[in-house]
Chain A
Amino acid sequence: MRATARLVARVDRRGQTVLAELRGESPLLLRQVPAPGGGVTVYVVGGAAGPLAGDDLRLDVEVGPGAVVRVHTVAASVALPGRPGAVSRTLVRATVAERAALFWLPEQLVAAAGCAHVADSQVAVAAGGTLHWRDELICGRHGEQPGNMEINTWVDLDDRPLLRQSLAVGPNAAGWAGPTVLAGASATGSLLIVDPARPAQSAAVCGTRARLPLAGGPATLWSATAPDAHTLREYLEPDTATDTIAASAGGEEREVVRVG
């Protein structure tokens, strides 16, 4: 199945974020929901199972100057096998203008057995823009090994490269379950926060999660592996990730916080 969707947010004369465009097609439907506070909240509603191998889904998000947009999904996406040899693809392209904010906080992506999925995200943030971007991958449904999954993330900040990451799991990804990449953890993910107003934070690590200040601007990546989706979410909650990584005494390695 092929589907495209597009979301364009602007600020009206009263300074409120409004959706200048909101359109999608099954299985990529967009629904605005009322939400407290400023900005708009949109849910991506999966109109069908999947993505199934062979699907090609594209979503464009444009957040204009000063606008605030939150994007969620109603449920986890489960990448499933389809026609033999076929690959399913999703491509999300987002631009965040100056003074604008995009909070991209979808539910998990699950790599089911036999899937062949490529998830690409290309995000451009203008200087002075804010971005919260979370990716969570679950390797297989309960008790199964994942198929092939590749998650590619490109983020530019002020027209310079900020983050480039490709994570590959599954039979075609050598060593993915080994001690370099995931060491058998079935959940992994990251939370990127680009926020010029946030004070710079030092690198820190606690168990299997790390707080990583990036080189390319006022941005921090929280990166983690976890035994399950629930634990991973605890590690990657935007409101708590900052505090818990330094405060938690748990984890298999002793807590270490680096200064400088």
Chain B
Amino acid sequence: MATPTMLLLLADGRFPAGAHAHSAGLEAAVAAGRVTDLDTLAEYLRGRLATAGLVTAAFAAAARGVAWSAGRSAALARLDAELDARTASPAQRSVSRRQGRALLRAGRRIWPQATFDDLPAAPDGPHQPLVLGLVGAAAGLNPGQVATVAAHATVTGSASAAVRLLGLDPYQVQALLVRLAGTCDATAARAARAAEEPPERLPAAAAPLADIHAEAHVTWEVRLFAS
């Protein structure tokens, strides 16, 4: 069982895995005029939690669930293919794999005794939730805690990006995150339960505009965030 501090370290935005460089689609949603203020940001974050948040947290918890199993390599390959099938947008697939690579780099250096070598060998890197599951295992987190880290990251990344993109009051944005904490916990709990299902039954909640935003964003020549 992980210590409370270990959980906080992994969830901290200052964990050196490059999370601060990503707005998780918010930059494109702001540019399209769909997120303009605190209220639309709140709806954005609720939608993120219900879709990408649930899927990411479930896959992270599932990867954590197989971390000590004998068939780990095959199970991770299966999860990788299932997550690809849930990520219709090539831009989103690429972002997930790039973030996975960054987290893997951190994981290898921070937990040199842990094994990460049997992650699927995709040229762009493994999907981020799979790496998070293994990093969580190395840190002693259980699947529920890994799901919490994933769900929490879903909202905090976009929220801090919103402060920069929209010039929102950081206190008000933090108050919004406080209001969403219960939903975040519920999403993590639901994801951890779902993670016990076979990979093909894991959540697949889709968001058409998230795909559209990601594909538009990747074409920009100048952008503040990597996603």
Contact = CB atoms under 8 A, between A and B. Distances in A.
Interface of A: 152, 154-155, 160-168, 173-183, 188, 190, 203-205, 208-210, 212-216, 221, 223-225, 252-253, 256-258
B83 to A, nearest CB: 9
Contacts of A179: 29, 34-35, 40, 43-44, 47, 209
The binding surface of chain A is classed by DSSP as strand
A164 B82 CA distance: 8
Interface string B46-58: 1111111000000
A181 B207 contact: yes
26 contacts: A152-B204, A164-B85, A165-B88, A168-B50, A174-B47, A175-B43, A175-B44, A175-B49, A178-B44, A179-B40, A180-B25, A180-B47, A181-B207, A182-B208, A203-B89, A203-B215, A204-B215, A214-B88, A215-B84, A215-B87, A216-B84, A223-B88, A223-B212, A253-B32, A256-B219, A257-B219
Given A205-B216, A216-B85, A221-B88, A166 B210 contact: no
B217 to A, nearest CB: 9
Contacts of A160: 81
Contacts of B226: none
B18 interface: no
Nearest to B90: A203
A216 B50 CA distance: 25
Interface residues of B, number: 43
Interface of B: 25, 29, 32, 34-35, 40, 43-52, 81-82, 84-91, 93, 183, 200, 203-212, 215-216, 218-219
Contacts of A167: 205-206, 208
A236 to B, nearest CB: 12
Nearest to B34: A179
Nearest to B220: A256
Contact of A205 (B200, B210, B219): B219
Contacts of A168: 50, 205
